Amino acid sequence: MSLRLLLDEDSQAKYLLNLLRLAGHDVITVNEAGLEGQVDSEVLNYAIQDRRSLLTRNCNDFRELHEINPNHSGVLAVYQDADLAKNMSYQAIAPVINLDG
């Protein structure tokens, strides 16, 4: 299953971008979309208009935006923890997104 993804500013590392594209996803970054520095609501609105799921590490802000407007293609929230061993690596993100069902 491939997805149309928008990578938030905190998640647009070139390595992750390349991994996701190699996995067959249609991926653009916030910078490529001309949204650098925009508020989170504008980023989500762009994703909604372009029928893209948003991948972000900014979980709390986008959870609030989801609660305000749950009509979107999805927010893939990658949580960060103070214990680095609990954080998901770039290499782990693409295979998890590719899981069917």
Each residue's pLDDT tens digit, 4-54: 999 999 998 999 999 999 999 999 999 999 999 999 999 999 999 999 999
What's the predicted TM-score (pTM) here? 0.86
- pLDDT above 80 (res 81): no
Provide the domain limits for residue 55: 4-97
* Mean pLDDT value across residues 66-80: 87
Q: Where are the beta strands (DSSP E) in the chain?
A: 4-7, 26-29, 53-56, 75-77
Residue 2's alpha-carbon distances to 9, 72, 95, in angstroms, are 21, 17, 11
Q: What is the number of structural domains in the chain?
A: 1
List, in sequence order, every beta strand (DSSP E) within 8-85: 26-29, 53-56, 75-77
Q: How confident is the model at residue 100 (pLDDT cuts 50, 70, 90)?
A: low
